[in-house]
Amino acid sequence: MTQLAPYAVTEANSRGRQRAEAPPTARGEFQRDRDRIVHCTAFRRLEYKTQVFVNHEGDLFRTRLTHSIEVAQITRSIARALQLNEDLAEAVALSHDLGHTPFGHAGQEALNACMKDFGGFEHNLQSLRTVDLLEESYAEFNGLNLMHETREGILKHCSPKNAAVLGDIGRRFLEGRQPSLEAQLANLADEIAYNNHDVDDGLRSGLITLEQLEAVPIFAHKRQVVEATYPGIGGRRVIHETIRRMVNMMAIDLIEQTRSNIADAGVGSLDDVRAAPRLVSYSAGLLPELRVLKTFLRDNLYHHYQVLRMTDKARRIIQDLFEAFMNDPRLLPPQYQLMAKADQPRAIADYIAGMTDRYAMREHRRLFAVGEIH
Ligand code: MG
């Protein structure tokens, strides 16, 4: 690893783990976090969870797992360029979506609506809950017992009400303090990843077209460059060459703007980072271009009628499952019945949130399909 900047998170300035553990022998503490995340159950489930397209719609679309790997790649590259803690940044990137429900945002909205009277459901909080509590792998503790800064990075946002009951990890939301640069970075790398791969998946699915994308300057400009450099290029190559230039441009913009933000703020330590305004950012020039891209994706892809049909179905599956388990908790698998004794709605939310897309569909069939008894 390259020399770390004085404002990077290190083992020396870290607030450590909730439960003290013997130090690792051949790796760092943040590498250990990353490794625990890669080996946890919730991480493997990301393979079968929707990003935008339901998992079974096609084998080539992003899933939450491939999305998380792309976020980790972008995060890691930028972290190295900024001399930040790559292992921490990677751990945050790989775990940022662990708490997502099946069926993407439709699933989260549906579960949040079901949980309205029981404290709500929020995927960031659920990601933290997964690594703090729900994983059952270690003899001495629940969850993964991650470093404070990894957990802080996972909890990207949080309402003051929720922050107040989270103790140490929620305090920054009440005090208006920032998380580490590594956490801020993973958050924006998430955006770089999906804004670009959703264009790619949108084109691959045929729901959006290259012609439509002429209205998005950031895409149109890069495509012009590609076609001028390689006359006659077409098919998949023109798309990939265009998108990789977009990713690169966003990453470089972020690196340069963040460097100058750090210099302007006179930041020289991790404490300075926490007290300063958000330092990881795009340039003011890039923001309006990104807004055009995001609006395009919302109007033409996320709100495409074929996507909305899928999300509407997903919403009903989640509602039906939640209702069935609320009406009769004995329908829950035994371990969740046990949890339901303490808090029935939360146990149901944990069960549903942990499902993959296809598991949720199968469970729905098992509970509701007339004529199918097994
Ligand atoms: Mg994400």
Ligand 1 center from residue 91 Cα (angstroms): 13
pLDDT confidence of residue 371:
72
Spatial separation of the C-alpha atoms in residues 108 and 130, rounded to whole Å: 15
Is the per-residue pLDDT at 194 higher than 90?
yes
Ligand 1 center from residue 10 Cα (angstroms): 25
Ligand 1 center from residue 264 Cα (angstroms): 30
Ligand 1 center from residue 122 Cα (angstroms): 14
Is the per-residue pLDDT at 374 higher than 70?
no
Ligand 1 center from residue 268 Cα (angstroms): 30
Spatial contact of 212 and 301, defined as CB atoms under 8 Å apart:
no
Ligand 1 center from residue 95 Cα (angstroms): 9
Ligand 1 center from residue 280 Cα (angstroms): 17
Ligand 1 center from residue 101 Cα (angstroms): 12
Q: Where are the beta strands (DSSP E) in the chain?
A: none
Report the 10 Å Cβ neighbour count for 130: 27
Spatial contact of 33 and 88, defined as CB atoms under 8 Å apart:
yes
Spatial separation of the C-alpha atoms in residues 216 and 134, rounded to whole Å: 42
Q: What percent of the chain has pLDDT over 70?
A: 97
> What residue type is 38 in one-letter code?
V
Q: What is the mean pLDDT of residues 207-216?
A: 96
Tokens at 314, concatenated:
């997903």
**What pTM, to 2 d.p., does this model score?**
0.95
- Confidence at 373, pLDDT banded by 50, 70, 90: low
Angle at which helix 86-95 crosses helix 64-81, to 10 degrees, equals 160
Ligand 1 center from residue 100 Cα (angstroms): 9
Ligand 1 center from residue 39 Cα (angstroms): 19
Q: What is the mean pLDDT of residues 224-236?
A: 94
Ligand 1 center from residue 70 Cα (angstroms): 10
Q: What is the mean pLDDT of residues 300-312?
A: 90
pLDDT in tens, 73-132: 999 999 999 999 999 999 999 999 999 999 988 899 999 999 999 999 999 999 999 999
Is residue 126 classed as helix, strand or coil in its secondary structure?
helix
Tokens 């130090």 identify what position? Answer: 23
pLDDT in tens, 313-337: 999 999 999 999 999 999 999 999 9
Ligand 1 center from residue 160 Cα (angstroms): 23
Report the 10 Å Cβ neighbour count for 39: 12
CA distance readout (Å), 80 to 49, 84, 345 = 30, 6, 43
Spatial separation of the C-alpha atoms in residues 307 and 1, rounded to whole Å: 43
Domains of the chain (ranges; CATH) run 29-308 (1.10.3210.10), 309-368 (no CATH)
Ligand 1 center from residue 190 Cα (angstroms): 5
Is residue 52 classed as helix, strand or coil in its secondary structure?
coil
Ligand 1 center from residue 3 Cα (angstroms): 29
Ligand 1 center from residue 192 Cα (angstroms): 10
Identify the bridge partners of residue 147 per DSSP, sorted by sequence position: 17
